Structure 1
Amino acid sequence: MRRGGGSLGARSAALVAALVAALLLLLAPVPAAAQQPVPPDPIGQQEPEPPPCQGQLTAAEATKQKIDAHNARPHQFVVPRQAAALQAYDAEAAALNAEQQTTLTALRSCLLQLQNRLAIRNELHPQVTGAPPPLTISSTRRDAIRKGRDGLPAGWPPVNVSKRPAVPRGTPARPLYDAIRQGNPKINPDVDAVLQGRSRPQVGDPDPSRPGRQIQARSNGNAAVSADHIITIARLMYTAEFIRLRPDDMWAVATAASNLQWIASDVNSMKGSGSMSVVAGIDPKWRADQVALEKRTLAALIDIMKRIHDTYGEG
């Protein structure tokens, strides 16, 4: 009597191929028209990152190769004379089925995490034409952020936050602030970039913060405007969700293009590390609009940070 052993069908190859296709789709670049050169981190040298899900993909492909080799061997057995060989073949098939389930589950999980991370990245850095790209982080900055965060005093951040939050020099929180603030934002005020759906204002454009006034010129003739953190780095320093992030995620949130806007440079200086609500000499309606923008932006950033915690845990 002849019996066929437990060969494994095309399901493994199809699943691996589908998951690889999903990975490539997630990693598809933004259309060229929407890209700008990614500036290097001014602190240290950026190190190349390994391809995402590479370990899980390699494991899944290795399992597929084992399955292909299993199926390629003769799998017709004469029983009872070859009963032992049949049993061994079927046992190997069962083991490979279990291994396939494990490796594909791990690959699916990694792809889901990657999908979540890319969704978060696109919220922090809107993928629109002219928008600035995410800033890279070097190992030097990563270490400085980790060291600064580990040096925070117990109970940080304080519960009460003023409208002009500050991180004074010489205080325990200052090293973390400096590690995050240096070179941030890295947007050349003389180069156009789309922030909050608006291109960089030009000399002579109306200044919305002070109706009747126009955007002035710098000494080089370009518009005197600055890329302003809607929620300042100092304010983030007093946000519990921010402090609990991993260094790379802290940097991603602190450099988010969704938290930047163009404003007149002198107004940006008056705002400092605080809220626009305390800035004098600006239009009351524009101030109210800015305060509403601050509330929306802070709520959105906190929601993103909570989702980062849920996906990757705390730092």
Structure 2
Amino acid sequence: MKQFDQVVTLLERGNYEGAFLLLGDCVDLALREIEADRRARRNGTLFGLGIALLTGGLGLEDLVLGPLAYKATRFFGGSSMKPEEAGVLLLEALKLRLEMIQQLPEIVIPAESSARILRDLLVVYLIERGSFDRFEELLPSLIAPAEEKNLYRIVQRLELEVGYEKTIDLDVILFACLFLYDLRHWKLYQKLRAGRESLEREFEEILREEDCRATAAGADLENALERHYAAVLELEPPYTPEAVRRNYRRLIKGCHPDRMQQASAAEQKQAEERARELNEAYEYFRARLNF
């Protein structure tokens, strides 16, 4: 693929930052192509089912119309590669990105958007654990990881994916990235820290010896999540422990199970989701403000 030819050229010139960023663009492209294919297949199926209703279920949706709608959607959607090509591009780009993070962390991590690195790691977690249904569900968020709502989903999903023997090497890489982005108060970091205290001390020694620019990217990530959790708790700056407690207590009352006894199943589920968000936001600010 021409993308990898360009990566090789940059590496030969010693432009590791440029090569790493270009590989990130390859991941972006591959995910967009995979999502376009997913939408095309869905639209082809829906079109075929609609025709089946009109034709009395003659099977045309399976034989002709569904596949035709899929091809048309792919063509007019501007797809530039086949699904299998997008899959190969995604896997190869992620493999090289991980290798560069492991071998040149002080060079490539500061150069890259923290949201894209966390996105890439989550994709690898999902692939390693065979969570392809979850991958497809998260695809729209993975395509635009820097958006606050998507970043929130990525971080929350990472918290569920870490801590398994099969992905222990990935845990170490994620731990290092969070450290270098100075996101050590995150619940995700604290979960990964258990048993890695000596590694953390090694990282601290490295930072004392080098000026690591990754913390600036980490600050951008932190600000995005802070805005998200502040919106969940309906907070206005400056954020104080008293305001966090007050708003949390006021809002969580509306989600209490006693108030939802007469509610529908959908309303109860919505209340449970709201309570989960409120609890996560409260825990975030509790760690952030140290109360």
TM-score tier after normalising by the smaller chain length: under 0.3
* Structure having the larger proportion of residues in helix: 2
Q: Which has the higher contact order (CA 8 A, sep 6+)?
A: 1
- Scaled by the length of structure 2, the TM-score of the pair is 0.24
Which structure is larger by alpha-carbon Rg, 1 or 2?
A: 1
- Scaled by the length of structure 1, the TM-score of the pair is 0.23
